[in-house]
Each structure stands twice: as structure tokens, then as C-alpha cells.
Amino acid sequence: MNLLLDTHVLIWAESQESRLGPSTRSLLLDPSNRLLVSPVSILEIARLISLSRLILRKPLADWLGEARRHLGFDDAPFDHRSAIHSYELPGDFHKDPADRMLVATAREYGYTLVTADDLIIGYPHASVHDART
């Protein structure tokens, strides 16, 4: 299964693993699953750091390198098609641009988005796994 990690799930998996549910931890450890992280999530993390809403133990580039080695994730694509699709999502979806981009990417590439965001979990037009389970 191709699992696209929401921003907070990436942070939890690297720094606060106890926040992940047991089935999510199993999914992330299963070598048959491919883990993906979008550059949108790294942009979100950089923004949170710049606003002093997130403090990492080391510079973001170093933290990201460690997270990549620890979790073994690949870079998820974010291209023009996904950017356009972000604002053409079917049905009712909330306005957060990063969430729209992640959901659009998951839909475009057939990924399952791993998240604890109730607004995304309740969205019926994307494959989602609740990270709290």
C-alpha cells in the first residue's frame, strides 16, 4: 500500500511515536508498504518553525534526513496537475491549502492519506487511514 503521511503524522512518527495508534505503527513498519512525504508537508513544517509553533532538536534539513533514514520514506510528487486538482476536489472540503494539496495528491496517485485530521477523515472522496487507530 502507498501511504502518504500527513504533516503531523510525519512529526509524530519521528518524534512522538506514542501518538500513533497501534494499527498505524504496524502499517508504518510493514516493509510491503511504501511511505511517502509530500514537499507540501516540509513547507508546512518550515512555516511552523518560522512562526515558533514547532521547535525541532536540530535544523530542519538535518531532522528531515534523520526522519528519512528512520522511516524510509520517498518523496511524494506535487505537480501542476495536483495543484489544479487541489481546488477541484469533489464535494465539500475545508479551505486549508496544505490539506487540499495532500488530498489532491493522494487522489491523483491512488495513495492512502494517513492523518488524524477529522475533516479529512470524514471526506468521502479520498482513501484515508486514521493515524489514531
Whether residue 24 is predicted with pLDDT greater than 90 in this model: the reply is yes
Whole-number percent of the chain with pLDDT over 70: 100
* Residue-level pLDDT at 79: 93
Expressed as residue numbers, the domain containing 73 is 2-130
Whether residue 94 is predicted with pLDDT greater than 90 in this model: the reply is no
The mean pLDDT of the chain is 96
CATH code of the domain containing 81: 3.40.50.1010
For residue 130, what is the enclosing H or E element? strand 128-130
Beta carbons of 122 and 92 less than 8 angstroms apart: no
Number of domains comprising the chain: 1
Whether residue 83 is predicted with pLDDT greater than 90 in this model: the reply is yes
Q: What letters, b where the CB count within 10 A reaches 16 and e where it falls short, cover 84-119?
A: ebbeebeeebeeeebbbbbbbbbbbeebbbbbbbee
Give the pLDDT band (50/70/90) at residue 101: very high
pTM for the model stands at: 0.96
What are the tens digits of pLDDT across the range 43-71? 999 999 999 999 999 999 999 999 999 99
Whether residue 123 is predicted with pLDDT greater than 90 in this model: the reply is yes
